[in-house]
Amino acid sequence: MFKRLTSLFNPPARLSAVVHETDDTITLGGASFSAAFRSRYDYDRQAQLTEIINLYRASPIARRIIEISIEFVIGDGFSISSPSRRAEKFIKEFWAHPLNDLEAQLPEWAAEALRSGDLFILFSVDAAGMSYVRAIPAEQISEIVTAPNDYRQELAYKRASLDDSPWPAYQPGADQASFVLHFPLNRMVGATFGESDLLPVRYWIKLYQDFIENRARLNHYRQIYTYVLQRNFNSQAEKEAYLRSFSSSLPRKSGGIVALDKDESLNVIAPQLASADALLDGLSLKRMIALGAGLPMHYLAEPEGSTRTTAEESGMPAFKRFKSRQQYLRHALQAILGSALEVRSAVDHSLPTRALIEINVPDVTERDNAILAAAVQNITQAFVPLYNARKISARELIRLVYKFLAETPPETIPDEESPVQG
């Protein structure tokens, strides 16, 4: 039995691949891979996008979910740098170009990605190799043309099912006057498009809107009442004439006085509409919205506890979600800036084709700095004595300090072995 298991996990050498796979030869399990996985994604995407965009425009909850995410993800803004001075100079020129102005476009891009699940960036390149970028509304892309053997190798982006001139995908090294970069969010395995952050909560937001509207209507009808006058009348004509006279004498404002004869009685009929469960019903709907959006309840104006510790602990999962969205946007920016640099380098040969591009992102929470400072203080107190005792090197000490600072250490770290006072 042991030999059989060993042969399963360690196949003979003659079964090993002798040819390295490339983008063209990769099969991912066979020719039917693409069709088998895309069948799980059969739905009306255009109708879904239209519904979500209309929901975003009309619902304050949907709009606030996106706004909160952008506020945490972008914060005070991103900053860029590069070890290559020439590359950094061009990247900053590209970033601040009046026709690009990425500082202003960045919140729009983040909102588009969170709202639609896809970020399509159209590049237009002039004769000097300068790129100009714009985000394409996701609903304008009806189909993504991919390699027949791999759905992740995107080739073109159709604007309609019979589009004869789709936007081409970026081909590194090719001479392209325009191309598109695609960054999907919440993409399922086997799918070409991403999914909106509002998708899992759209039903519950609409249900909550209907709930609030129905409660408003109910409270409106609760204020409606009818007077019932009891009096003996000799004829129908006398009754109708008396009612006209009596109704004109009723007070029009609250606090008025109605004088009745001794043989008259006046009562009020009002609808008996109870609302004992309204609070619990509304809270349940808000919980479903908060759960689907990855937000704590107090972000939706519903306090979860009376202590600051409770609020901080309930917010931690949301901070993790914001951090992942921040990394998504950071990755997209690195790809955009890298592509712009590569396109320009084909014209300006003084620029490197590729260079390390560092994008510094703000802290997701204001408490991050305090937490990191405390962590660095603790790690310093623990490891400085080891360094002074020559148990660890200066390089290792600096690496640990930068690690607990959640920062990238400098490329050149000194090796001096001088004692540290602390």
pLDDT tens-place string over residues 21-40: 566 655 555 444 545 555 45
Question: 171 and 85, same structural domain?
Answer: yes
Among 62-66, 86-90, 236-240, 386-390, the minimum mean pLDDT is found in: 386-390
pLDDT 10s digits, 64-106:
889 888 988 898 888 898 999 999 999 999 999 999 999 999 9
Q: Is residue 10 part of a domain?
A: no
CB 352 within 8 A of CB 345: yes
* Structural domains in the chain (count): 2
CB atoms under 10 Å from CB of 149, counted, come to: 16
Burial of 221 (0-12, 13-18, 19+ CB in 10 A): exposed
The strand ranges marked E within 173-221 are: 178-184
Specify the pLDDT at position 178. 94
Q: Which comes out higher in pLDDT, residue 145 or 220?
A: 145
CB 234 within 8 A of CB 241: no
Q: Is residue 401 part of a domain?
A: yes
Largest CA distance in the chain: 116
Question: 374 and 340, same structural domain?
Answer: no
Question: 119 and 185, same structural domain?
Answer: yes
Q: Is residue 416 part of a domain?
A: yes
Among 209-218, 244-253, 286-295, the minimum mean pLDDT is found in: 286-295
Q: Is residue 291 part of a domain?
A: no
- As given in the structure block, the two tokens for residue 217 are 């209507």
Q: Which comes out higher in pLDDT, residue 307 or 192?
A: 192
Question: 404 and 331, same structural domain?
Answer: no
Q: In the chain, what percentage of residues exceed pLDDT 70? A: 72
Answer with the one of 313, 345, 377 that is the final residue of a domain. 345
CB 108 within 8 A of CB 126: no
Answer with the one of 277, 312, 345 that is the final residue of a domain. 345
- 242 contact partners, CB below 8 Å, separation of at least 6: 231, 233
Question: 177 and 86, same structural domain?
Answer: yes
**Average pLDDT of every residue of the chain:** 78
Q: Is residue 97 part of a domain?
A: yes
Specify the pLDDT at position 118. 95
pLDDT band with cut points at 50, 70 and 90 for residue 320: confident
Answer with the one of 281, 314, 345 that is the final residue of a domain. 345
Q: Give the DSSP H or E segment for 395.
A: helix 394-404
Question: 414 and 333, same structural domain?
Answer: no
Mean pLDDT to the nearest integer, 358-368: 75
Tokens 């609250």 belong to 254
Tokens 């609030």 belong to 212
Q: Is residue 386 part of a domain?
A: yes
Specify the pLDDT at position 281. 67
Is residue 250 scored above 70 in pLDDT?
yes
Rounded Cα distance between 66 and 113, Å, is: 10
Q: Which comes out higher in pLDDT, residue 417 or 86?
A: 86
Is residue 6 scored above 50 in pLDDT?
no
Is residue 419 scored above 80 in pLDDT?
no
pLDDT 10s digits, 157-195:
998 877 788 999 999 988 899 999 999 999 988 888 999
pLDDT band with cut points at 50, 70 and 90 for residue 422: very low
Question: 327 and 384, same structural domain?
Answer: no
Is residue 277 scored above 80 in pLDDT?
no
Specify the pLDDT at position 251. 75
- As given in the structure block, the two tokens for residue 385 are 């004595």
Specify the pLDDT at position 258. 76
Question: 126 and 71, same structural domain?
Answer: yes
Q: Which comes out higher in pLDDT, residue 271 or 33?
A: 271
Rounded Cα distance between 289 and 301, Å, is: 12
Rounded Cα distance between 121 and 113, Å, is: 11
Question: 387 and 334, same structural domain?
Answer: no
Domain that holds residue 403: 366-422
CB 412 within 8 A of CB 399: no
